[in-house]
Structure 1
Amino acid sequence: MKVDLLDERGYEQTMRETVLPSLDACRSEGWLTASAGSRASQENDAGKIHFVCFDAHAFGELHISGATARFRGAVVISHGITEFAEKFNEIAWYFLKAGYSVCIIEHRGHGQSARDVTDPNLVWIDDWNRYIEDMAHFCSQIAQEYADGLPLCLFGHSMGGGIGAAVLEQHPTIFDKAVLSSPMIAPRIGLPDWLATAFINAACDIGFSKRMAPGQLPFVTALSDRDYEHASASRVNWFHALRMNDVRRQTSAPTYSWVREALRLSHSVLQSNMCDRIETPLLVFQAGDDDYVLNPPQNRFVQQVRDGGCPAELIRMDNARHEIFGMPNAAMEPYVDRIISFFNDPIRL
């Protein structure tokens, strides 16, 4: 299916006058408590997870130009670190036009979901398995209803892609198709893995768990030239305006504990016996100009999934930044078209 992208020249106006009113017409939100049997729910501060959903049936009643009349299932969006549901409104718009309901989970420490630190800049997690339990519970309790018996697909970006990869391994029957965009199969730390692991573990052991990780900064109001490099200025400015308008969207930095858990997640996801468990057809997009995650572990992950007998394809976008969905239309068009074509292709048993 060919998707008409938003014109970058009138991006803000189109978002405000067309996209957002249409999304609001089919939008619902809620909070989900961890399942009774999960490890997270047994902690003294399990908290609640916020989510936003868009119903494709209600969207279809709006008769949007270029939208399909065919309902195809649902897509779960799993966002990256420091992100929030509203950042994916444009992507949700394209999925809705293609016939998919959209369900966005705001991971712990993000957006309106439970936070375990008082500093709004920081993301803290004590055990990466909480993310996986939250996601699996969200899919079984909320997203499956929106799929309504048709395929449930995954779109995971960065940290959300790493979480998605772990969910595919630990819960291999949840999703029917999965797209991982610049997934955090391994974070870019700037140190060899063994040294980073030893340093971060030692820092957590001496009480630095909830402190801002080295090299990170609080939220800043000014964009830098690097933010615009290769990216769409219209999209970058829109994302930043969303953050400026709500302090809950200004989360900006991981803690030492988050880095420790990101490394532990990576070590688990890359085990060959875990990759062997994946049964969901997989499409991975790799950004050639990526400041946040490492490319070689993505290559290794895809190859190990293939070796385990599951279809997996890696598409490298040489000049793309980490947030591929924030690139200019020349890069966005083949990216979005390929994702939707992948979701639309019949599932081969």
Structure 2
Amino acid sequence: MTQHNLQPAFTSPLLPTWPDENFAAVMENRIRPYLARERMSDFVASGARRIYYESYHGSLPSSHAIIIVHGFCGFTRKYEEMIYLYRRAGYDVYIADNYGHGFSTRGVNDPSLVDVADYRTYVDDLHALIAAAVLPLNYKEIILFGHSMGGAIVSLFLLRYSYLCRTAILSSPMLGINSGFCPAWLLELICRLKVACGAKPDYIKGQHPFPEQPDFDGSSCSSKPHYDHIFAWRQTEPKYRTHGASWQWMGASLKAIRQIQRHAADISARILLLQAGEDKLVPAAAQIKFATNAPNVKLQLIAHSRHEIYNACLPERCEYYQAIAKFLAQTSGEDRTSTGEAETRESGN
């Protein structure tokens, strides 16, 4: 039997307390050295695909694990601050580069283009990761965290594998797509026709390769230091430069969204849905619809945040992590605020 550490306590002292202007220094001097000491990386086989993943835990595993599923054009290093906070709270953390992203297998040669035929690929890869790396450690609970596209992947996973995970955090989940003046059904039809006609994977209208110049104002981040940190990673590592969607990816995404909304009532897991008040990518109505139809969803609005709430300014990030802390404490049956334990762990950094 696997020996575990004490049950984690996600408490307010572990919230990000550093001002945005100090973020770069905190990342360089505190977060990265800490993560480097704990990081283990490997590949997991999922069919013919090789999925790159990282795990973060101490010499003894925790009783709880959090699996982060990133969003469209995301990658592991984009979540360094979040991984650090979860680890300091006592959770083991796993994160993978989704198919077509980062160091995982890709189906196209263009390093900027994201292409997938069906979201079952993402779900199968997530299951392969859990089966190979997570389940053998016999955690008391496995918690799924999904941002944007990752939220859609997690939702589909919960429909298929409800017995594996009973708790999930959906951050700005892609439960709809802001398609402008083109209704979703028409856009999906166009995408299907493009693929059926044998068109090679190419950028959907309005999408393009990775730009060499930063564009904070047009980004999904509210915190410029966080945006600069992510853009620096993209400049340093070519595999982190995914930027645009293919027609096939868009069609697969719209199909996945229809499936999730149609079967929302069948998702029994406890879910915290964090909604960004200034989200320009995902319509709030789609998230509200899901929260209304799924039986066990708590909807939390973070009013003054763009799409990536975990890259918002400090007040919004604190509100975000406070909501997560409260949710995790409630779902684990933990009503204590073990500030002494938390501060002891933090002082050991």
Equivalent of 1:245 in 230, 236, 240 = 236
**Shift, 1:209, TM fit:** 4.8
Counterpart of 2:322 in structure 1: which amino acid? D
Does the 8 Å CA contact 2:275/2:301 hold for their aligned counterparts?
A: yes
Is 1:185 matched up with 2:175?
yes
Give % identity.
25
Is 1:330 matched up with 2:324?
no
Is 1:342 matched up with 2:344?
no
Residue by residue over 1:45-79, the C-alpha shift from the partner in whole angstroms, topping out at 9 and shown as x without a partner, is x32111011014479xxxxxxxxxxx441100000
Name the structure 1 match of 2:280: 291
Equivalent of 2:67 in 69, 72, 76 = 76
Distance in 2, matches of 1:27 and 1:113, equals: 17
Equivalent of 1:151 in 141, 144, 147 = 141
Alignment of 1:38-53 (within 5 A): 41=47, 46-53=48-55
Does the 8 Å CA contact 1:121/1:252 hold for their aligned counterparts?
A: yes
Name the structure 2 match of 1:54: 56
Counterpart of 1:22 in structure 2: which amino acid? Y
Distance in 2, matches of 1:305 and 1:347, equals: 20
Q: Which runs of 5+ in 2 are unaligned?
A: 1-10, 334-349
Distance in 1, matches of 2:216 and 2:236, equals: 21
**Shift, 1:228, TM fit:** 6.5
Equivalent of 1:304 in 290, 293, 296 = 293
Alignment of 1:159-198 (within 5 A): 159-190=149-180, 191-198=182-189
Distance in 2, matches of 1:133 and 1:4, equals: 33
Distance in 2, matches of 1:189 and 1:16, equals: 38
Distance in 1, matches of 2:197 and 2:156, equals: 29
Describe the SS at the equivalent of 1:197: helix
Does the 8 Å CA contact 1:95/1:101 hold for their aligned counterparts?
A: yes
Does the 8 Å CA contact 1:209/1:257 hold for their aligned counterparts?
A: no
Name the structure 1 match of 2:31: 19
Distance in 2, matches of 1:101 and 1:180, equals: 18
Describe the SS at the equivalent of 2:305: strand
Cα 1:289/1:278, change in 2 over 3 Å: same
Residue by residue over 1:298-319, the C-alpha shift from the partner in whole angstroms, topping out at 9 and shown as x without a partner, is 111111112xxxx211111222
Name the structure 2 match of 1:275: 264
**Shift, 1:173, TM fit:** 1.6
Q: Which runs of 5+ in 1 are unaligned?
A: 35-40, 60-70
Distance in 1, matches of 2:64 and 2:126, equals: 18
Does the 8 Å CA contact 1:170/1:277 hold for their aligned counterparts?
A: no
**Shift, 1:174, TM fit:** 1.6
Cα 1:230/1:80, change in 2 over 3 Å: closer
Residue by residue over 1:90-146, the C-alpha shift from the partner in whole angstroms, topping out at 9 and shown as x without a partner, is 000000011101000211000000001001010111121111111122112212345
> Taking structure 2 as the reference length, what is the TM-score of the superposition?
0.87
Does the 8 Å CA contact 2:167/2:331 hold for their aligned counterparts?
A: no
Alignment of 1:112-151 (within 5 A): 112-145=103-136, 148-151=138-141
**Shift, 1:176, TM fit:** 3.0
**Shift, 1:346, TM fit:** 4.3
Is 1:234 matched up with 2:225?
yes
Q: CA RMSD in A?
A: 1.8
Equivalent of 2:298 in 290, 298, 313 = 313
Cα 1:229/1:76, change in 2 over 3 Å: closer
Distance in 1, matches of 2:205 and 2:309, equals: 26
Give the structure, 1 or 2, with the largest relative contact order (CA under 8 Å, sep 6 or more). Answer: 2
Distance in 2, matches of 1:58 and 1:22, equals: 16
Does the 8 Å CA contact 1:165/1:269 hold for their aligned counterparts?
A: yes
Is 1:32 matched up with 2:57?
no
Describe the SS at the equivalent of 2:276: strand
Distance in 2, matches of 1:178 and 1:316, equals: 16
Distance in 2, matches of 1:254 and 1:286, equals: 23
Cα 1:118/1:346, change in 2 over 3 Å: closer
Corresponding pairs, count = 320
| Runs of 4+ displaced beyond 6 Å | none
Residue by residue over 1:192-248, the C-alpha shift from the partner in whole angstroms, topping out at 9 and shown as x without a partner, is 122111211111122235111110021112222524687111111111111110000
**Shift, 1:292, TM fit:** 1.7
> Taking structure 1 as the reference length, what is the TM-score of the superposition?
0.87
Name the structure 1 match of 2:205: 214
Distance in 1, matches of 2:301 and 2:168, equals: 16
Distance in 1, matches of 2:49 and 2:191, equals: 26
